[in-house]
Amino acid sequence: IALVISQWNEVVSFLPKLDNRVYKTAQTDMGEHTIHSFGSKYMAYIGKTGLVVMDRKGKEKFSVNMVLDSPSIAVSDKKIVFAPKGKNTIFSVSRSGKVTDFKTDDEINNLKISDSGKIVAITGKKTYNGSAVVYSARGEALFAWDSGTCNLLDASLSPDGKKLAVSVIYTGGT
């Protein structure tokens, strides 16, 4: 359970038990935001106005201010990756707040990150019914899996980043 206290368009306090799950979608004057833990000491708060990382007492560590339309986000203990809906740029944020970005070939539908720092971009590849592309922590494409005739629903990497699991649905035939 997470408690968010908002005052004058800013988050004042978090009181969570920290892990990597989404705790809550909070509606504030700034719009809807999703709260994630970031390591054992911080929370990541993302919405249409950007990303804010705060400590347990609500003190801002850093922020990334940009307009985001329904952003996808993935959080590990060491890094946050996010992408605006329907765009092909992945932003990567380190614990210190350093932001880097890289482009994908197709629009990003969702993101996942392994404990080893590898990133999976679940994309809407046009010639297939989706694709899962695995990138190194530096943004170099390592390999891709295209869904073919099945519709790609989701994908995830093992903690070590060596195994890819995908979820698909096939609606053709009986």
pLDDT tens for 105-130 read: 999 989 999 988 999 999 988 777 78
Higher pLDDT pick, 113 / 147:
113
Q: Which residues contact 169 (CB under 8 A, 6 or more apart)?
A: 150, 151, 153
* Confidence at 12, pLDDT banded by 50, 70, 90: very low
Contact call for residues 69 and 82 (beta carbons, < 8 A): no
Residue 8, class by beta-carbon neighbours within 10 Å (0-12 exposed, 13-18 middle, 19+ buried)?
exposed
- DSSP code, position 129: T
Q: What is the pTM of this model?
A: 0.77
- DSSP code, position 164: E
